Structure formats: C-alpha cells, structure tokens
C-alpha cells in the first residue's frame, strides 16, 4: 500500500532476478560504463546536475517495504534499488552494480523539522550488528527537506542547499530503526510519525498502481532474461565486451590526448621559463658589462686624477725650483751688490787713508802749518795780550 502517487514507468523489481548483463543492456543507452580501479565497471548517467535519490523521483510508502524511492527515469528500476552510489571528483556520481534488492539503499536522519537521507556507499554491509551511528556519509551526499514535503512528487524542489548540510547534520540524529522484511533491507521514519506532518492519504489507488508497475517490470525482466540467454547462445556477450573495450580504448585515447595537452602545456611553460632565464642571463650579462664599463671609467678617472695630481706636483716642483733659482739669483745679485759696496767702501777708505798717511808722515811741516796758522790772521784766541 502507498501513501503517494507513483507515476514512474520503471518501479522496483522485487521478485525478478537480475544479472550484470541485464544492467549493462538496460543502462547503456542512458549513460557510460567506466572501468573504475576499485570496483570494476561502474555506470555514469548522462544527466547534468544529477544526484541519486534527489533528482527525477520521489518517496512513496509501502506497507511491505516501508519507504521506497519511485524514480521518474526509465532506467530507475536498477540503480536506486540495486547496488550503491559513489561520488567521484572527476566523473561525478557513478553507480556500482549490486544484486540485492531494496526499496532504497539510503541512510536517514531527522530533527529540527527536517528529514534527510543519503545514499549508502559501496562496501557497507548491512548485518545484524550494523549501526548507522558508526557510518557517516559525506556531507554532500545528504538531501534535507522540511518534514511536511517528504511525500511531495517533486521533493527535489524542496531540498535545501548543500551549504547548509553541515549545520543541519549537527542538529539532527540518525534514524537507526532498520530491519529486514522478507530478507529485504528496510529503514526510514515511521509511518505514523510522517502522518503527523503530512496527514493521512488514501492509498488504495496507489497500491494498485505500484502492483501493476511491479507486474509489468517482472514481465519485462523475464523477457530480458530470455533475451540474455539468446544473446549468450549467439555470442553477443563477447560483442558487448568488445564494445566495452572499445569504449575503454576511446576513453584511454581521450586521456592520452589530455595528457598530451598537459605535456604540451608543460613544455610550453618550460620553453617560456627557459626564455625568461635566457633573458635574465642576457640582462645580467648586460648589467655585468655595464658594471665593468663603469669600473673601467672609474679606473680611467682615477688614472686621470692621478696624472693631474702628478702634473700638479710637477708644476709645484717646477715652481719651487724657479723660486729657488730666483732666490739664488737674488742672493747672488745681493752678494754682488754687497761685494761692490764693500769694494767701493774699501776704495773710499783707501782714498781717505792716503791723505792721512801723508799728513802723519811729516809732523814738522804740520807744526809749521799750525804755527803759521796761529799767527796768521790777527792772533785771535791765542796767548795773552797785554
């Protein structure tokens, strides 16, 4: 029994068995199979801005299996009820095939007037000793909506922005009441709790819809299994493997092209850096040459200064020599003049001494001259006169 309308063409397969070939055949038209290092071949849907259990679907309640994700995609019968989802930084969301059916492989949280759910990652084994409290999906796996919109057929329109997930996670608790119904994993909020926020909904028509969809899908699965058996008999499985290898080869060539582009960009950067280094070296050489030129000019200037200083010293020395010569010449002239003066004085002395010698050589005559002089002229001033 359901508490929400189910418009999807591909609902869950509960009873029909599936195989890897079934997944490959049904999902290949809608996405790309990728050889993933840890999990082998995984599937990536060809949808922009895709998020599992978020875009293109909604929640419905069933009496037998609790909360079931009803996908709006034609391929939704498989990836939302088998296997697990994984987010890869390069590819985005990829689906890891699995063979155990569940109405939805998710973990639930509640609190703060919100319900939230996140896809379980690969490798999570739901056993009797398992506890969701010990497993925490990354914050970007979660989708939170107000409780009263949990049954909305466009529930993804009410999902809050991922930027708020961390805050909401810190203010909500894990719903850990999982159980197995007919060996099927079942979890999520209780029916009575949800009805407190959404109200009771008539579910008879919705039960008929989901039963009719299950029967149609079971028939399609049986037809698909018969077709797979015929493919195996005709060797089509090998052709599919060849197609997968071709896709891998195409992917490998694309990666090689990307590596070539990265390598070419790296080489271009290296060439540019080498050119920059060469230009820096050339600039350094020019700077060194300019420094040497400046040093040579400084040395030449020093030599010129030294030569000027030498010339100045020679000039000063020449001036001193000339001054000394002039002084010597003046001294010689002075000596000559002095000699001349001395010679003239001696001559005058000699001339003066010659009459004196004549007078001192005839004293008798001198006395006569004195006597005559005394008696001549009136006898004034000599002797007594009576």
Give the span between the Cα atoms of 46 and 29, in whole angstroms: 9
Length of the chain: 386
Query: For the chain, what percent of residues have pLDDT higher than 90?
Result: 42
Phi, psi dihedral angles at 36 (to 5 degrees): -95, 140
> In whole angstroms, how far apart are CA 323 and each of 315, 317, 318?
12, 10, 8
The ranges assigned to domains in the chain are: 20-234
DSSP string computed for 29-79: GGEEEEEETTTEEEEEES-TT--TTTSSEEEEEETTTEEEEEESSTTTTTT
- Region 235-244 average pLDDT: 72
> In whole angstroms, how far apart are CA 343 and each of 333, 335, 340?
15, 12, 5
CA 234 and chain centroid, separation? 56
pLDDT value for 371: 58
Q: Does position 207 have pLDDT exceeding 50, yes or no?
A: no
Query: What's the pLDDT tens digit per position in 339-377?
Result: 888 888 778 777 777 765 555 555 555 555 555 555 555
Sign of CA dihedral 20, 24, 27, 31: positive
Phi, psi dihedral angles at 68 (to 5 degrees): -125, 140
DSSP string computed for 343-355: HHHHHHHHHHHHH
Q: Does position 171 have pLDDT exceeding 90, yes or no?
A: yes
Helices (H) and strands (E) in the chain, counts: 6, 12
> In whole angstroms, how far apart are CA 325 and each of 50, 82, 256, 321, 328?
115, 127, 100, 6, 5
- The H or E element that residue 249 is part of is helix 236-360
CB 30 within 8 A of CB 46: yes
Q: What is the largest CA-CA distance in the chain?
A: 213
Highest mean pLDDT among 52-66, 80-94, 116-130, 181-195: 80-94
pLDDT value for 15: 42
Phi, psi dihedral angles at 177 (to 5 degrees): -90, 55
At residue 208 the predicted structure's pLDDT band, cuts being 50, 70 and 90, is very low
CB 63 within 8 A of CB 192: no
Q: Does position 232 have pLDDT exceeding 60, yes or no?
A: yes
Q: Does position 16 have pLDDT exceeding 60, yes or no?
A: no
Query: What's the pLDDT tens digit per position in 178-193?
Result: 777 667 778 888 888 8
Query: What's the pLDDT tens digit per position in 282-321?
Result: 999 999 999 999 999 999 999 999 999 999 999 999 999 9
Give the span between the Cα atoms of 41 and 207, in whole angstroms: 36
Higher per-residue confidence, 45 vs 263: 45
């Amino acid at each position: 029994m359901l508490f929400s309308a189910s418009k999807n063409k591909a609902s869950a397969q509960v009873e029909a068995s599936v195989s890897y070939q079934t997944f490959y055949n049904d999902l290949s038209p809608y996405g790309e199979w990728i050889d993933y290092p840890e999990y082998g071949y995984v599937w990536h849907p060809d949808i922009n801005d895709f998020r599992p259990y978020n875009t293109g679907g909604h929640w419905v309640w069933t009496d037998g299996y609790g909360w079931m994700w009803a996908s709006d995609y034609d391929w939704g019968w498989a990836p939302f009820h088998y296997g697990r989802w994984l987010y890869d930084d390069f590819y985005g969301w990829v689906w890891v095939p699995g063979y155990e059916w569940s109405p939805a492989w998710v973990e639930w949280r509640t609190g703060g007037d919100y319900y939230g759910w996140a896809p379980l990652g690969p490798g999570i084994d739901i056993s009797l000793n398992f506890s969701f409290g010990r497993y925490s999906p990354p914050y970007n796996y979660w989708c939170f909506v107000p409780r009263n919109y949990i049954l909305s057929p466009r529930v993804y329109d009410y999902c809050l922005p991922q930027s708020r997930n961390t805050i909401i996670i810190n203010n909500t608790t894990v719903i850990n009441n999982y159980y197995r119904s007919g060996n099927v994993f079942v979890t999520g909020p209780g029916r009575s709790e949800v009805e407190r926020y959404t109200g009771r909904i008539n579910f008879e028509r919705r039960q008929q819809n989901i039963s009719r969809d299950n029967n149609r899908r079971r028939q399609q699965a049986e037809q698909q299994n018969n077709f797979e058996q015929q493919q195996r008999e005709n060797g089509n499985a090998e052709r599919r493997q060849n197609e997968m290898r071709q896709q891998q080869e195409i992917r490998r060539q694309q990666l090689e092209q990307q590596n070539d582009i990265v390598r070419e960009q790296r080489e271009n950067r290296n060439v540019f850096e080498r050119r920059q280094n060469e230009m820096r070296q050339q600039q350094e050489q020019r700077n060194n040459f300019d420094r040497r030129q400046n040093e040579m000019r400084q040395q030449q200037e020093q030599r010129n200064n030294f030569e000027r200083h030498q010339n100045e010293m020679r000039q000063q020395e020449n001036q001193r020599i000339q001054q000394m010569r002039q002084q010597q010449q003046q001294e010689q002239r002075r000596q000559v003049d002095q000699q001349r003066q001395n010679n003239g004085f001696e001559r005058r002395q000699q001339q003066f001494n010659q009459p004196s010698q004549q007078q001192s050589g005839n004293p008798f005559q001198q006395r006569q001259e004195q006597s005559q002089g005394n008696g001549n002229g009136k006898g004034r001033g000599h002797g007594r006169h009576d």
